[in-house]
Amino acid sequence: MPLSLLVSNMIGSHEILVRNNRVQYKFTVNRNITILRGDSASGKTTLIDMIADYSRDGAESGIVVRCDKKCVVLERGNWERDLKDYKDSIVFIDEGNSFVRSYGFADMIQNSDNYYVIATRDSLFNLPYSICEIYGIRNKSGNRYQGTKRIYSETYPLYNREILHGKPDKVIIEDSNAAYDFFRAVCGKEGIVCETACGKSNIYKCVQNANEERVLVIADGAAFGPEMERAMALKRVKNVVFFLPESFEWLILKSGLIDGNELQDMLKHPGDFIKSERYFSWERFFTALLVDQTKDSYMSYNKSSLNSVYLHEKNKDAILKTVNEEADAELFGR
Amino acid sequence: MLKVFFGEMPQALYSTSLYFDNTYFDGWLDDEFAQKMIRSVDKATVLSGHAVESKALGIIPPTKLSGGLKTLLLIYNEPNKIFNASTCGDNCAKWLLKIPKVLDRDVTVNLRHIMDFGDGNFEINILNDDTVVHNMNELVQHAVKFIGE
């Protein structure tokens, strides 16, 4: 997979400005799925209504929308037919549209080259969205012009990185394959209990059932968005911390074990290379990239079972160094 | 008491904003408790049954109230129906707890997310397993099982 072939139309980040004489929204969408939630009356519906008005009537609406991509609004009714017509666009969907929870919707957007901004408090378990792309809207400032107050709003991330102080007593790994093989070996040496959740939707059960004092969950942040709400809620009743890098494969790529300046440069801004039509979420891209970059070499990566070379002391230390750097803590000794 | 069913509930009205726009009565805005909710959630003052003055949007019709507030007004005025209260943000939670007290009757809502009812004590009947919980810690332990079902 030559890196130069990964570039397509719908990639990277896109700045959006939406404005009338009373409100202005300025924000950036970074990935194929963005979720808007947060308090009532923060302006989610107003934003989407303004985009819908502009989409219908253009400049005659009196609304300004600035973006390098077409912004459209998808509504219930003929959403399937309408969605087929949208290409290379940023599609906004307001809350109250129950189709966003359907398998049909997930299927359709998986193979489209659009980005989606969805206002909902439902956890959309059919969609693999990132923990980094769940936002609230807040008022940043306001001013008065010709007697009218204009409010300036921005989006802000609802979840921030957590810091674990001290070593965990138990580690729960999202998957049951290569990542689990790796962390089970690491935990075994340190006398830490390591368990696989066999999928992200089981993590909350594992956390609830854990009897250990301090629990660390390691999961792929690139697709953990739907689980984030109940994960955070469990912090009320359990001493649990979530370490959510993009994915295990991303940690390996970032560790420097795989040579290549082009690769390291790409990892600084992967969104510019990840074609939304091809990769529903970023962790799938990182897996494909790692498999491709290591094929036919002694480092050959297989997601279903860890190549033991990654557990060789030097390689393991390089990955754990990246783990600790990303966690901003000494999660594991090296 | 507030009764909550977590997760999918086919009989609950999901698109509350649309339903409100087509069913509300002007008189709903005359009510003192409704006006308190409007002030608290939307930072808006009722001018009449047709108009509300919002701090952010100026003078607007009731159809431009926030989705969360529309849902609160529906729950308050049509307590025999069940509405999707996940259209309400956490800033609506205290009002959801107050509505059954003001109406002096049980009120049932559907939640598809874990709403934060704050750090205080309360009584909520979780209908999925018919349990009464008294604080967020208890609520979370039950609700996580039913979200996503």
Q: Do A208 and B144 touch (CB under 8 A)?
A: yes
Residues of B in contact with A53 (CB under 8 A): none
Q: Which regions of chain B does DSSP assign to beta strands (E)?
A: 2-6, 44-48, 51-54, 58-60, 83-84, 107-111, 124-126, 131-133
**For chain A, the helix, strand and coil percentages under 3-state DSSP, each to the nearest 5:** 40, 20, 40
Q: What is the pLDDT of residue B3?
A: 98
> According to the model, what pLDDT value does residue A163 have?
74
User: Does B51 touch chain A if contact means CB atoms closer than 8 Å?
Assistant: no
How, if at all, do strands A148-157 and A134-145 pair?
A: antiparallel
Q: Which residues of A touch B137 (CB under 8 A)?
A: 236-237
B118 interface with A at CB cutoff 8 Å: no
For A65-97, b/e burial (b = at least 16 CB within 10 A) is bebebebbbbbeeebeeebeebeebbbbbbbbb
pLDDT in tens, chain B (149 residues): 999 999 999 999 999 999 999 999 999 999 999 999 999 999 999 999 999 999 888 899 999 999 999 999 999 999 999 999 999 999 999 999 999 999 999 999 999 999 999 999 999 999 999 999 999 999 999 999 998 76
Q: What's the pLDDT tens digit per position in A198-233? A: 999 999 999 999 999 899 999 999 999 999 999 999
Domain that holds residue B82: 2-23+65-146
Cα B127 from chain centre: 17
* Predicted pLDDT of residue B55: 85
> Does B112 sit within 8 Å of A39, measured CB to CB?
no
pLDDT of residue A4: 41
- Tell me which residues of chain A have a C-beta less than 8 Å from any C-beta of chain B: 22-23, 37-46, 76, 95-98, 120-123, 125, 139, 148, 151, 201, 204, 208, 229-230, 233-234, 236-237
Each residue's pLDDT tens digit, A261-316: 889 889 999 999 998 888 999 999 999 999 999 999 999 999 999 999 999 999 99
User: Is residue B18 included in any domain, yes or no?
Assistant: yes
What class is the A3-157 domain? Answer: alpha beta
> Searching chain B, which residue's CA lies closest to the CA of residue A95?
B87
Residue A206 tokens read as 């594992």
Minimal C-alpha gap between A40 and chain B (Å): 5
pLDDT digits (tens, 9 = 90+) for A11-47: 999 999 999 999 999 999 999 999 999 899 999 999 9
B101 membership: H or E segment, kind and range: helix B93-103
Query: In percent, how much of chain A has pLDDT > 90?
Result: 80
| pLDDT value of residue A334 | 62
pLDDT (0 to 100) of residue A329:
83
- The size of the A-B interface in CB pairs under 8 A is 94
What pLDDT is stored for residue A223 in this prediction? 95
Kindly list the residues from chain B whose CB atom is less than 8 angstroms away from the CB atom of residue A118: none
Residues in A closer than 8 angstroms to B114, CB to CB, are 229-230, 233
Name which of B15, B17, B91 is nearest A39 (Cβ-Cβ).
B91
Task: At A130, list the tokens.
Answer: 């990132």
Q: How many domains, in total, are found in chain B?
A: 1
Residue with tokens 């007697």: A147
- Nearest C-alpha in B relative to A147: B58
Shortest CB distance from B88 goes to which of A40, A97, A98?
Answer: A40
Cα–Cα distance, B74 to B81 (Å, whole number) = 9
pLDDT at A7 over 50: no
CA A194 to chain centre: 25
From the list A22, A45, A151, the residue facing B67 with the nearest CB is A45
pLDDT band at residue A2, thresholds of 50, 70 and 90? very low
Q: Is B148 close to A237, i.e. CB distance below 8 A?
A: no
The answer to whether position B35 is within a domain reads no
Residue type at A205 in one-letter notation: K
pLDDT for residue A140: 82
Which is higher by pLDDT, A67 or A330? A67
> What is the pLDDT at residue A161?
77
* Start and end residues for every CATH 3.40.50 domain found in chain A: 3-157
Query: What is the overall mean pLDDT for chain A?
Result: 92
pLDDT bin (cut points 50, 70, 90) of residue A5 is very low
State whether B43 and A41 contact (CB < 8 Å).
yes
* Cα gap B146→B128, rounded to integer Å: 7
* Cβ atoms of A129 and A30 closer than 8 Å: no
Within a domain: B83? yes
CA A311/CA B18 separation, integer angstroms: 57
